[in-house]
Chain A
Amino acid sequence: NAGVTQTPKFQVLKTGQSMTLQCAQDMNHNSMYWYRQDPGMGLRLIYYSASEGTTDKGEVPNGYNVSRLNKREFSLRLESAAPSQTSVYFCASSGNQDRGPNYGYTFGSGTRLTVV
């Protein structure tokens, strides 16, 4: 099925460990995003990539790095995980030749990350 695929779905890390969350989309979207969702809150933007080869900080970028590997893939890296990074992480994509990025975002199913 077409959409946004995130891996892994669940992960437990120890404080100080590193990991990379993977995201891929097959809708030929130009823009990709990483959000985090904390309990009882809406999603907050960590980083985005408006097009292949570009990345920009969002609202809460500290402690994260991203890589737009190609048009399809956008990864999020935690270099030294902290308990404050316990959250659900969502990848999203938007915008192709038919519809601009403001038409609406398509989200992956999320990664539940726990840092102990």
Chain B
Amino acid sequence: AQTVTQSQPEMSVQEAETVTLSCTYDTSESDYYLFWYKQPPSRQMILVIRQEAYKQQNATENRFSVNFQKAAKSFSLKISDSQLGDAAMYFCAYCNNAGNMLTFGGGTRLMVKP
């Protein structure tokens, strides 16, 4: 079974600064997908960014980018120019190639200081 580990229970960042959230995963598959989801206090799960394992190029979405290291099984999220609205729980997730099993890490709580 795949496992996803987020080793930082909490992180804080100053508004307008950059922060990196860590994620590692374990799998024996070669094709898979990785995601970062944001969960604000509203409880809604919001897809932030997606990475296909067969692509070497790191995904980017506006201020959000990832550092995908397939050999190291590492998938970190970088948030640039942090905003107060970025404060939330962030979950790293692994999806198998068939798409029928999305496995989540334990989450990182991000606090943004004004």
Contact = CB atoms under 8 A, between A and B. Distances in A.
A31 B93 CA distance: 17
B106 A40 contact: yes
B100 A109 contact: no
B50 A41 contact: no
A101 B91 contact: no
Interface string A66-107: 000000000000000000000010101011000011111111
Contacts of B98: 50, 101-102
Given A42-B105, A44-B104, A110-B43, A104 B35 contact: yes
B114 interface: no
Interface in B31-77: 32-33, 35, 42-45, 47, 50
Contacts of B99: 31, 94-95, 100-103
B102 interface: yes
B106 A41 contact: yes
A107 B97 CA distance: 20
Interface residues of B, number: 27
B38 to A, nearest CB: 11
A19 interface: no
Given A48-B100, A50-B100, A94-B99, A109 B91 contact: no
A70 B33 CA distance: 28
Contact of B42 (A41, A58, A95, A109): A109
Interface string B70-107: 00000000000000000000010101111111111111
Which 7 interchain pairs have the tightest Cβ spacing? A101-B99, A42-B104, A102-B99, A107-B45, A102-B33, A43-B104, A110-B43
